[in-house]
Structure 1
């Protein structure tokens, strides 16, 4: 089952069901007005949504219409929580080297995680708007889960069972602001602006064997200005699973339905994988040639991120964004 949020002039948009091929959609306000409303009552509405989705797939709904990704907000335009981990240690090692930070041994057993801003989440085609390109604008291609209610102390198994949906993310970073901010010892704020999300969120059963209960095994492609720079595999080199991350998040506190749990930038060690963020490319350039030559994003540049299943079918639709510099 695939779900999206259409713009309707409100903050939270209107929930629609979408076909697996992302070609048709239907409003479901009689079941749930928004995705958050559906998540709040998931046990009560899931079967109704699935029945309606089956009717949509079969072409049996008179109210169906052509699906347009350009009409989509983020599946959750604002969320109660956005907790982003860093499950791919290759990424952690490279970006820490880039800012001259050592890799403490505990990071191999205890995942990094920060709580990002979730009051404003961008749609798949929303511009990345910043006042200054010198802030070091970078994309980060990653996957995230949308959780149901989880209690404090939830186990990894409970965390896996409590996941409802998966989404694709561009977790934007402002690299030149990160070192000074982290030097204060209190975490990201200014350096982590609004993230962008895929047109649709997908229930985990849709993935078949590509979801093994802990990891999603998809092909992830990244383009910068139309040139493909990343050919990644989301299941490879993922040191901490989504189940591990959920357990970490809930060690001392509960997570409410609608919590977004990210796994961090997908990063593979294999040759030819390319990169899911510019910071990794720059660090490799420093290690190989002594200096970084690939610039961060500038005004007018574009980024596209898309995930594919084993048959080459797009899963979430694509995130396609343009950088806009608007000095205040």
Structure 2
């Protein structure tokens, strides 16, 4: 199943023909249509023990897809691809710390700065090294397990990040301004999170290519660490971390993003998450 959160475009009418169209709605993508679901939000759908009934149907061309969970309760972004860690550290003369192999680590991102597919991303003040990060994210359901997967871009201000991490607190303001997700949330019966070709393009040029199969820690290991000594809630987002080659930082070529750039992250089996920097 392919869940989404969507907004009917101006003038769009569902099968019911109602003039009172909700602004944002949870839905299910079926071919070239979106079926509205009988629930307030997709977060409510994920918390249900049984899928809700379907409502009005809309042509996919007549809706705008939003982030599947526009305001998640929390975002934990892990650091689970060895190649990304090793390459990024090698570029500054360091190696992967032995502690990285003991358990998966993560940081908390800002759930109030979530963007969806085709949203514009404002170039953040205070950086000259804006980067994309090619990731898969899992979203938690009502049973505390993975309800589905989506594409995720953990936008990063690398020069700010270097200064923050020199202080010893890890990335904070360097990641605070934007995390984009979408276009849909694919349930584990269709996408099990074990393998998928992952690519990133900037202005149509492929800059990154990796595979989800290269993840060092499994999703059960990642979830166990996320839930240790706490509780996971429906709608919580769990990022995989950046796949190998999945950021400009790894290429070490200084080709940072600039206003006007269009970044497309494609996850085989999920779709394309596209954003423009303005």
TM-score range, shorter chain: 0.7 to 0.9
Matches of 2:42 and 2:104, distance apart in 1: 29
Matches within 5 A, 1:281-296: 281-282=251-252, 293-296=253-256
The answer to whether the 8 A contact 1:149-1:255 is kept is no
Q: Among residues 29, 34, 37, which one is paired with 2:44 in the alignment?
A: 37
CA contact (8 A) 2:127 2:160 kept: no
Could you report, residue by residue, the CA deviation over 1:15-55 in whole angstroms, capped at 9, with x for unpaired residues? 11111x4x111212xx2121111122x21x32x45xx4xxx
Query: Who is 2:265 aligned against?
Result: 305
| Equivalent of residue 195 in structure 1, options 172, 179, 192 | 179
Deviation at 1:176, TM superposition (A): 0.7
Contact 1:133 1:299 in 2 (8 A): no
- 2:64: which partner in 1? 71
Q: Tell me the TM-score normalized by structure 2.
A: 0.88
CA distance in 2, matches of 1:319, 1:143: 11
More strand per residue: 2
Task: Give the secondary-structure state (helix, strand or coil) at the position aligned to 1:191.
Answer: helix
SS state of the match for residue 210, structure 2? strand
Which of 208, 214, 220 is 1:243 aligned to?
220
Q: What is the SS of the residue equivalent to 2:174?
A: coil
SS at match of 2:99: helix
Name the structure with the higher helix share.
1
Corresponding residue of 2:80: 87
Q: Are residues 225 and 276 of structure 1, via their aligned partners in 2, closer, same or farther at CA, if it must alter by over 3 Å?
A: same
Partner of 2:6: 6
Of the three residues 268, 272, 275, the one matched with 1:321 is 275
Name the CA distance, whole Å, in 2 between partners of 1:221 and 1:185. Answer: 31
Distance 1:133 1:66, change over 3 A: farther
Secondary structure at the aligned position of 1:64 is classed as strand
Distance in 2 (CA, whole Å) between partners of 1:108 and 1:99 is: 20
Match of 2:248 among 239, 264, 278: 278
Q: Which runs of 4+ in 1 moved over 6 A?
A: none
Sort the Cα spacing of 1:223 and 1:251 in 2 relative to 1 into closer, same or farther, 3 A: same
- Tell me the SS of whatever aligns to 1:244: helix
Gaps of at least 5 residues in structure 1 are 53-60, 151-158, 268-274, 283-292, 309-314
Deviation at 1:101, TM superposition (A): 4.6
Report the Cα offset of residue 149 of structure 1: 4.7
Q: Which runs of structure 2 are paired with 1:181-260 in the superposition (5 Å)?
A: 181-192=164-175, 193-207=177-191, 211=192, 215-235=193-213, 237-260=214-237
State the Cα distance separating 1:13 from its structure 2 match: 2.5
Q: Does the 8 A contact of 2:141 with 2:234 survive in 1?
A: yes
State the Cα distance separating 1:199 from its structure 2 match: 1.5
TM-score (norm 1): 0.75
C-alpha distance in structure 1 between counterparts of 2:170 and 2:71, whole Å: 21
Structure 2: distance between partners of 1:69 and 1:241: 38
Task: Output the CA distance in 2 between the equivalents of 1:103 and 1:233.
Answer: 20
Q: Is the 8 A contact 1:70 1:125 kept in 2?
A: no
